[in-house]
Structure 1
Amino acid sequence: MQRVFIGVPVDRQTQQHINAFLEPLKRLWKDIRWEAENNRHLTLAFIGNKPTTEVENLLRSFNEIYQQETHFKYRLATLTLFPEPTSRTIALVAEPSEALDRLFQITRRFLQRHKVELDLKAFRPHITLGKIAKGKHLKTNVYQPAGINLNINKISLYQSTSNVSGSIYTVLKEAQLK
């Protein structure tokens, strides 16, 4: 079994902007376990644990579903607690985007063709940046305007594995957008 998901990797330039944005906050907020830079991504669809044969089927046709799609910029507007104001996850959330909604719908149809059941909750795009330690509370407001652009120029099929220090995400396949 492989635990997999489809997402948008965070490009180098956006990583640098996120790092600069987080630098003063990391000094202020000591009770947060920050995500490793190479684990940052925007999830389009969490697939879950699947047999290797099903993952191989997804890999075979992965490139073709995005080949007609054009790259675009996506605005990460705000740093906030996610998905609720009482949550422990700190994330960058975005402004509504027709282009990203289109990628989500394409991804959803692709997975439906492969008989992959998806969580049908509303799509809420975000990039997880950290988690507040259990039993800890931040003394300052997490909500911060961010205004960081994410270059969406490729889509990845990731495998997620867990170890004692957290999750490790490995790219199994990438599809480049036009």
Structure 2
Amino acid sequence: MTTEPSLRLFFALPCPGALAEAIDRWRDQQPLGGRPVARANLHLTLAFLGSQPASQLEGLKRLGAHVRADAFQLRLDQLQTIGHGFACLIPSQIPPPLIQLVEQLHAGLSSHGFALDSRPFLPHVTLSRDAQVQSNAKPPSFDWRVEHVVLYASENTPNGQRYREVERWPLTAPAR
């Protein structure tokens, strides 16, 4: 009997190139230690799905295509350690469109039978794993115009983890 191939999947907000570069440059000047996240992998996870059969991919693409949310501004302005030594940038204020986006995505995933993390949503961009954050480290404000949602596949490569974009969907411009 053959086993169906699986993919490690997650929905996320991709960190734009110029912003990822600025974050990377600032992070590299901090005494965080640990294992820095590659610049190309900087993102904000909306829903982690873990290992899923490849046959689920088309359904997840359809679900992503039905997500309707406005583009929004996100300000990452706090440095915090979460979990087991994950140094992260987080917003001091969560924009309502981000909460609406997460709720809509989670509702769609739940209705399709996906088991999601039961912990409350904490928006964050992981900078380094196994880090040692100094309590007095204060990041500058990183302003991010969020305009897309992406479905990523996490892949192990000889050079470490790589997040491959599977599909991308634009957020709409907010009504004026």
TM-score by length of 1: 0.83
SS of aligned partner of 2:64:
helix
Moved over 6 A (4+): none
Deviation at residue 165 of structure 1 after TM alignment: 4.3
Please show how residues 16-27 of structure 1 align to structure 2 within 5 Å. Answer: 16-25=21-30
Residue 175 of structure 1 pairs with residue 172 of structure 2: no
SS of aligned partner of 2:67:
helix
Number of residue pairs matched by the alignment:
166
User: d(CA) in 1 for partners of 2:103 and 2:75?
Assistant: 19
User: d(CA) in 1 for partners of 2:87 and 2:36?
Assistant: 9
The unaligned stretches of length 5 or more in structure 1 are: none
CA RMSD of aligned residues (A): 2.0
- The aligned residue for residue 33 of structure 1 is 35
Please show how residues 136-175 of structure 1 align to structure 2 within 5 Å. Answer: 140-141=134-135, 143-163=137-157, 165-175=159-169
The one-letter amino acid paired with 2:119 is K
Asked if the contact 1:156/1:171 (under 8 Å) is kept, the reply is yes
Q: Are the structure 2 counterparts of residues 16 and 165 from structure 1 closer, same or farther at C-alpha, using a change threshold of 3 Å?
A: closer
User: d(CA) in 2 for partners of 1:47 and 1:159?
Assistant: 10
- Deviation digits for residues 34-59 of structure 1 (CA, Å, limit 9, x no counterpart): 11111000000001111111122111
- The aligned residue for residue 2 of structure 1 is 7
Please show how residues 28-177 of structure 1 align to structure 2 within 5 Å. Answer: 28-29=31-32, 31-66=33-68, 69-83=69-83, 87-94=84-91, 95-132=93-130, 140-141=134-135, 143-163=137-157, 165-177=159-171
Asked if the contact 2:72/2:95 (under 8 Å) is kept, the reply is no
TM-score by length of 2: 0.84
User: d(CA) in 2 for partners of 1:142 and 1:5?
Assistant: 32
The unaligned stretches of length 5 or more in structure 2 are: 1-5
Q: Percent identity?
A: 25
Would you tell me which structure has more helix in proportion to its own residues?
1
